[in-house]
Amino acid sequence: MNEKQMAGEKAAEFIEDGMILGLGTGSTVYYMLQELGKRVQGGLNIHGVSTSKATTNLAKSLNIPLCSINDIDGIDLTIDGADEVDGELNGIKGGGGALLYEKVVASMSSKVIWIVDSAKRVDSLGRFPLPVEVLPFGSQYLFRIFEKEGLQPAFRKKGEALFITDSGHTIIDLKVPRMEDPQKTASWLDGLTGVIEHGLFLNMADLLIVGEPEGPTVVHRK
């Protein structure tokens, strides 16, 4: 069993009957959804809130019941992946392009679990490019701001065309090696007009499940 599968299947143990469940996006979440689908077939009663079209399609193929985020008051538990996580359980997400919906779902959740393989754990955030979801209108202006700050911006592509998020925006990936103050970076990005959302997820994860060679490890936020 690979590390992602370990983490995904371990996370499914935290799902309880009757929950409204936030369904994340990505390759590790895939394994959690496979396990959840088996439990639903066995009689587990849950409703999922999807964070992406890809997750919606996968959940439907596994007969996992879905509901609209606008029809609920809150989410009991969200299980999602991360692109890197530091020792404080702060992370960078958005490698799959679903960061906006993922952050909305996380903000409505009573509890958030991230599932990762061991390579995703880092001492300091910044090794993975920081995704910034931006409004296409005026995006070149933001691109120039990022250039002046030495952040080596790059518009995300899908083939030869710009990558477009599920909500119709573009993504600029930034290089912020060894981020000394993630909160300061997040606040700066939050203040830029035209930035819809960014991939810094700070103080959001309550629990981290890491797939490791000897088995899954569960880490609680300090």
In sequence order, the β-bridge partners of residue 171 are: 133
Active-site residue, 102 included: yes
E strands along 91-169, which residues?
91-92, 112-117, 130-134, 154-155, 157-158, 161-162
Query: Dihedral through CA 32, CA 38, CA 41, CA 47, nearest 10?
Result: -10
Q: Please name the amino acid found at residue 207.
A: L
| C-alpha 152 chain-centroid distance | 23
From 3, 102, 133, 197, the catalytic residue:
102
- Pairing of the two strands 217-220 and 112-117: unpaired
Catalytic residue numbers read 102
